[in-house]
Amino acid sequence: MYDKYLLKLRAAIAPKFKTLQFKDAVTGKTMTYNLFIPKYYDKKKSYPLVQFIADASTVGKGAKAPLMQGYGGIIWATEESQKANPSFVLVTAFAGPDWAVNDKQETSDEMAISFRLLNNVVANNSIDTNRIYTTGQSMGGMISFYLNATHPNYFAASLFVGSQWDINVLQPLELFSRK
């Protein structure tokens, strides 16, 4: 049985995202992404940004596939969420053919491209750099783990959903430390 509320929400919220492309100066590759801009965006104010990264089932399936994966990216762009916390929402589409990160902590060039894309979005919009958040499920959570490990002071907070990396690999983050 389908979650009828989710289907209704996706139909209402996904079209509010702009589908854009980022040309990476380092690799020359292009990465497609979806960006939600707050309804009453004022360039004189700064806004938080929530990055959602979908799981590997969306790799190579185009720009809209990550938006259609559960509540992941769209939940942050609902009227209720935006009323409480107006924010940008970034949902990146990975072209593949391989995952951006795998269970052996190996990454593809799309990992680095996605971080440069994030930096580009932050630099070209009124984003509060103290309120950048990342979340993802499975592959997306592993990407968020990786970005937290390689850029430990970048994100204000992270939410990892169903991400399967060995917790011992993440020990340098001290996120799971039980001292």
Q: In what order do the strands lie in the sheet with 127-137?
A: 18-23, 30-36, 88-92, 47-53, 127-137, 157-161
- What's the rounded Cα separation, in Å, for the pair 159 and 179? 21
pLDDT of 1 reads: 58
The C-alpha torsion from 36 through 40 and 43 to 46, rounded to 10°, is -70
Is 55 a residue whose pLDDT tops 50?
Answer: yes
Is 51 a residue whose pLDDT tops 70?
Answer: yes
Q: Contact at 8 Å (CB) between 35 and 89?
A: yes
pLDDT of 177 reads: 39
Q: How many residues does the chain have?
A: 179
Is 179 a residue whose pLDDT tops 50?
Answer: no
Per-residue pLDDT reduced to its tens digit, 13-40: 999 999 999 999 999 999 999 999 999 9
- What's the rounded Cα separation, in Å, for the pair 150 and 81? 29
- What's the rounded Cα separation, in Å, for the pair 118 and 19? 14
In terms of pLDDT, which residue wins out, 100 or 179?
A: 100
Output the average pLDDT for the chain: 89
Mean pLDDT of 143-161: 88
3-state secondary structure of 80: helix
Range from 27-31, 72-76, 167-171 carrying the lowest mean pLDDT: 167-171
pTM (predicted TM-score): 0.89
Domains recognised in the chain with CATH numbers: 4-165 (3.40.50.1820)
Tally of CA atoms within 13 A in the half-sphere of 17 that contains its CB = 32
Is 178 a residue whose pLDDT tops 50?
Answer: no
CA angle 152, 44, 21 (to 5 degrees): 60
pLDDT of 133 reads: 97
Q: Contact at 8 Å (CB) between 53 and 136?
A: yes
Mean pLDDT of 39-55: 96
DSSP state of 57: G
CA-nearest of 25, 49, 27 to 38 is 49
CA-nearest of 65, 128, 122 to 92 is 65
Per-residue pLDDT reduced to its tens digit, 75-129: 999 999 999 999 999 999 999 877 777 667 777 888 899 999 999 999 999 999 9
